[in-house]
Structure 1
């Protein structure tokens, strides 16, 4: 790779604090307090009666979980009735979204499918609920509490039927393996102890030693007769009961494996950068032919294996090392880095239905080894759920929130399922702190989503899933991969190979630079450089087809300047980021492309408010003027089922391209504001921590080849990135 027109760094030197004015007014309420009192009193009183008559074994310490549905006008976290709940000794233990038709809508044209409303999970005793109902009639009730009551649309005990998901059909006496989610943090052991006792009464076996704990939630595998599932779900602190899905690698991901008439040899050199740590979680290697670049780690229960698992593990590993082999020209390219292959599944637990063993192994590696790069081409074979985050997504997103690991995850191969509900992306590819990768059917100029590749949208936030696609093979154009087990090139297809193909590109960028980019910067760069599809939207291909050539990811044309900003924004202090704008005549329209990305802590118990951090970004085409223009609004998802108010600012990635007449721009800027929330509520500024963020901006002008050099001449603090080696980078 040459030094010509490389990615420009130090964009953060163009960022400075700014003071922003915010408008606003009194909040509109759909109901008057006097009018809503009788209805709320009846609802709360009925809920208290249900708690009082419940089987004591299902309400530990006399506590039950009720669902408080707020009016859709109060979707934002800052409107949650925190003071009211605290006053009557009620605990907010989680939240989710629900589409409802409120009795009174504040929207001019309410959508036919209903409006998105927040549902709060609240824990309390019968006496607390009685006190809440009595507060409605208190003459000394503060005005703020009256307003909190006015936000409530519905109030009910969480019913058993609403907790049961994706169980499927079967005989009543058949035993099934379940994943049970409890509203319980590690400090609330009485909730878990009570559940184990109740499950025993239902004839269930609780595998408590495999339980997984995340903030405010506990995930535990349970084996129970199908006829007793309804009874199990009566335990008040049960949030979700779902059947445990099979491991995704069990589906024949290598759909068409065939030897390709192509002779190649492996390189003799060591990896370009031996200091980087790369973790691959898969089915194993089983030989030492790649020992120059691969260390394999096994557990006692994964030493036994199968040919299918080894074939999958070898193909994934080979993709990370050598890439797609159709252009190898006799010798495979030199790997960018050594990798460690963790055989997390073997013959012994290959039939284990709970998948908790596999997840515990992956978690152990992320906590103890903290790799810089990771790939998962496996996971539970089921579509994501809007209401509740799966245990795989919950735990791994939590681990990746430290920003140390760049991770790619295959979205699954059920995109051609006859059931539309099963076509959706699969856990844990819906993580907000990782890249979910789908498959494209061709590496050529004309491409589309591969028919088998799962589609979006993801949950909100995290709507844009898959994040993008990469060539993963198709019947007409297989993905060529070197099979070290057979020492030959084979043709395969699957998102299992698209994901490590993208990981290899990120590793290649890191290996080629003197100062490696952060995991967030690599994620932003890949999304920024993704090739948009001319017709397919975000549901099909996300941000587009990922560029898998590291050289093209960090190289600019003469008529464009791509600048990366790696900054930190403080709470309560908005900043202004200048977009490099050269002082030269423009011979055509100006294109501004921008991508914001950050790594965020997550709130597993609050699927409605899953990300704890967010950014509000305002575009000003002329820095000195007050005029602003929308820049990041998404029209790939334009239905009420996809979008909700207040959602976009909490997305962990925003990307968009806009074209302008040169006369409408003069030193354009982005004004950026950092928002936070904790457990679905606004967080005081004093409790907030600085947020690292990445912004990638490309300014290009048609017919104007002087753009790149002119930007560097005008902005002296900007410098092209430096290459660590002059090794020719191959794909």
Structure 2
């Protein structure tokens, strides 16, 4: 008798129930007294006022200036936002950026590099800051404003030196100008800024991208002109316009003996309704993928320019990788999906990278793709204190339309730090950033050229996944016009290869799996090994759909597709057979969700976070606290917690953000236990919402959709799959709608 595959179990969300929220301890006593802060901050405000007075009036629209207020590391959390100070001084929060701070006293003062904190950008009139200085000089400890004054480490004017952070060319060059901009409030000075820039000699383009809190503008000018424009109060940054990453055409593979010919399948895609949008160098008219790919050209108005041979060659390689993967001579497997290939690279792209970005934005605005793959982007490394226009544009689309995106992280991994870091837009938090491995078999490791992490925080784990991208001597094989095989290496091939497997999950299982669930399954099924996380992320992606959808030996895998209301807690049961588990076991869990983002506050980039508490045994409770009152008893609904994801327990805000990935859109971890230590194990999942510039959680946040995948593996309990099905009757095997190409053994 042939054994049937043990497909992963779905409807895990039926094992969830509401729970209560239990807050943890606060951060303790403030490091400074009001008396110590009065003279210290008054001197800084006086120095700031001197800088403001030296600015030309036309650089201060409506008399407004911008200050940089750095918070003490002890107050690095949403609940410590100094809203009373802003109301009192009539200041407006317009953005923030993360910064390591070495304070005079308190947390971080004895750390060599200081502790993580944040810099607030505050806009207001010169009179507002003068009023604040007077209030501070006469402040008493019982004043409501005192609670916020003790949170401040420094306050200083934002100057042209802070805004122009890169060396600019003395000759006229392409620049990117980033401006603090709220269209509801700041439109009153938009024309004044254009006039000011023109008077300074900087030419602002009509190519702009508006995101929450920031306006990205393409410009052209000299370093001298840029520095003059940097005096304008609402300028956030002026930097060189990045150029397009180099795209290489594949080289035809030549061997001493004639290679067997490539045979393409006669059928169209397995799922013709599954369409992947590819943005790359385009396809030539004679491309060999007519049954499975549509060639789409930009219009003259899009500013891309004519196609280039290198771009077309790159586009063919990317499309081949997405349709067929790493090719070998002979009959090819049937592609899973259809590809709509949009050419966004051309002769004019380097001169105006915004043309390519705005073209991608236009297509995504006018379409309803659930799957998108990009192997192009700016030649710009990820920065911890900034978000690019490319990144925020894609994160917006992927969140709003629930898109699964794969993005190549770049091929600079063999460069010295920090030039070896992930390239933009590989820092997207709502996409899978893909690096390259040197093989797909045992002994795999990161390909030397594959760019490394970390990403920004939130979004610290980048790349998310690796996939084979070819190496010298073992190139990734793709199909070229005329039927010849060609070889190439790069993350440009590994990213569409991951998308190919993701499309395979959709093709075989239909819309049973949302794109978010597919993302969680891809990350969950990855093989991590012992490699550093900054090199491989969550691990090597699976190459076959069966590796994702079929439970490993002696394991049971469960998919949850749930929803949590803001500030609520959902108790998620981890299925364990009713009779328990013999011997040792491991539990791997992967949470994924999509989040609205705020590019003007990169340190607080995501608006949604998860606080996850693991409670392994329903009959074990915390020990009695030393200061517990008489008659204290443990709460029966809150068994003792244990470590699972990093950072569980009493941790600082810094540790929860960085170690525990508190605000990251992916959480993945594995724990090993004895079966006897588990009884009715659960996760308590708390949906935390925030909005930059507000102390309290926003009341208008939508419900959070998440995907969770849990695999329980018990080597000495081979019947775990069947026993979980018997114990949890609401779970059902997720059966494919088309047969998976797998070998099933046994008799």
- TM-score under structure 2 normalisation? 0.92
Match of 2:293 in 1: 294
Match of 2:39 in 1: 38
Q: Give deviations 1:606-634, integer Å, cap 9, x for gaps.
A: 11100000010000111343211121117
Q: Give deviations 1:694-719, integer Å, cap 9, x for gaps.
A: 11100010132101111111100000
Q: Is this contact kept in 1: 2:298–2:344, CA < 8 A?
A: yes
Distance in 2 between residues matched to 1:22 and 1:712, nearest whole Å: 35
Q: Secondary structure at the match of 1:393?
A: helix
Which of 351, 357, 360 matches 1:359? 357
Distance in 2 between residues matched to 1:244 and 1:259, nearest whole Å: 39
Of residues 290-299 and 227-236 in structure 1, the stretch that sits farther from structure 2 once superposed is: 227-236
The reply to whether residue 438 of structure 1 matches residue 448 of structure 2 is: no
Which of 369, 372, 396 matches 1:371? 369
Q: Is this contact kept in 2: 1:5–1:558, CA < 8 A?
A: no
Q: Is this contact kept in 1: 2:471–2:489, CA < 8 A?
A: yes
Q: Secondary structure at the match of 2:144?
A: helix
Distance in 1 between residues matched to 2:44 and 2:725, nearest whole Å: 66
Distance in 1 between residues matched to 2:254 and 2:3, nearest whole Å: 36
Q: Is this contact kept in 2: 1:75–1:645, CA < 8 A?
A: no
Match of 1:222 in 2: 219
Cα offset, 1:304, TM superposition: 2.3
Distance in 2 between residues matched to 1:422 and 1:640, nearest whole Å: 29
Q: Give deviations 1:176-223, integer Å, cap 9, x for gaps.
A: 11111100122312343232222112211110x201101110000110
Q: Is this contact kept in 2: 1:382–1:426, CA < 8 A?
A: yes
Q: Is this contact kept in 2: 1:135–1:141, CA < 8 A?
A: no
Which of 321, 324, 332 matches 1:322? 324
**Equivalences for residues 183-332 of structure 1 within 5 A:** 183-187=180-184, 188-207=186-205, 209-248=206-245, 250-252=246-248, 254=250, 258-259=253-254, 261-288=259-286, 289-301=288-300, 302=304, 304-326=306-328, 330-332=330-332
Cα offset, 1:49, TM superposition: 2.9
Change (3 A) 1:2 1:194: farther
Distance in 1 between residues matched to 2:411 and 2:578, nearest whole Å: 50
Q: Is this contact kept in 2: 1:617–1:670, CA < 8 A?
A: yes
Q: Is this contact kept in 2: 1:293–1:337, CA < 8 A?
A: yes
Q: Give deviations 1:69-123, integer Å, cap 9, x for gaps.
A: 010101111111012102211000001111121011235x832111111100000
Match of 1:725 in 2: 738
**Equivalences for residues 390-409 of structure 1 within 5 A:** 390-409=388-407
Change (3 A) 1:403 1:150: same
Match of 1:423 in 2: 420
Q: Secondary structure at the match of 2:175?
A: strand
Q: Is this contact kept in 2: 1:253–1:493, CA < 8 A?
A: no
Q: Give deviations 1:493-546, integer Å, cap 9, x for gaps.
A: 100000000000000001101433112111111111110132x21111111111
Of residues 26-35 and 60-69 in structure 1, the stretch that sits farther from structure 2 once superposed is: 26-35
Change (3 A) 1:314 1:588: same
Q: Secondary structure at the match of 1:474?
A: coil
Q: Secondary structure at the match of 2:181?
A: coil
Change (3 A) 1:84 1:504: same
Distance in 2 between residues matched to 1:135 and 1:284, nearest whole Å: 62
Change (3 A) 1:281 1:141: same
Change (3 A) 1:693 1:656: same
Cα offset, 1:142, TM superposition: 6.2
Cα offset, 1:683, TM superposition: 4.2
Cα offset, 1:322, TM superposition: 1.1
Change (3 A) 1:26 1:602: closer
Cα offset, 1:139, TM superposition: 6.0
The reply to whether residue 693 of structure 1 matches residue 703 of structure 2 is: no
Match of 2:568 in 1: 573
Distance in 2 between residues matched to 1:465 and 1:526, nearest whole Å: 15
Q: Secondary structure at the match of 2:699?
A: helix
Match of 2:635 in 1: none
Match of 1:131 in 2: 131
Cα offset, 1:450, TM superposition: 0.6
Q: Is this contact kept in 2: 1:370–1:404, CA < 8 A?
A: no
Distance in 2 between residues matched to 1:241 and 1:726, nearest whole Å: 55
Cα offset, 1:597, TM superposition: 0.8
Match of 1:13 in 2: 14
Change (3 A) 1:297 1:649: same
Q: Secondary structure at the match of 1:211?
A: strand
Match of 2:336 in 1: 336
The reply to whether residue 29 of structure 1 matches residue 26 of structure 2 is: no
Q: Is this contact kept in 1: 2:368–2:401, CA < 8 A?
A: no
Distance in 1 between residues matched to 2:539 and 2:229, nearest whole Å: 44
Match of 2:675 in 1: 662
CA RMSD for the aligned pairs? 2.4
Distance in 2 between residues matched to 1:555 and 1:404, nearest whole Å: 25
Distance in 2 between residues matched to 1:150 and 1:634, nearest whole Å: 27
Match of 1:480 in 2: 477
Distance in 2 between residues matched to 1:383 and 1:685, nearest whole Å: 32
Of residues 515-524 and 22-31 in structure 1, the stretch that sits farther from structure 2 once superposed is: 22-31
Distance in 2 between residues matched to 1:544 and 1:304, nearest whole Å: 39
Cα offset, 1:233, TM superposition: 1.7
Distance in 1 between residues matched to 2:512 and 2:676, nearest whole Å: 38
Cα offset, 1:727, TM superposition: 5.7
Cα offset, 1:2, TM superposition: 9.5
The reply to whether residue 628 of structure 1 matches residue 654 of structure 2 is: no
Q: Secondary structure at the match of 2:145?
A: helix
Distance in 2 between residues matched to 1:530 and 1:598, nearest whole Å: 18
Distance in 2 between residues matched to 1:603 and 1:686, nearest whole Å: 17
Of residues 709-718 and 472-481 in structure 1, the stretch that sits farther from structure 2 once superposed is: 472-481
Change (3 A) 1:205 1:647: farther
Match of 2:630 in 1: none
Which of 635, 652, 677 matches 2:690? 677
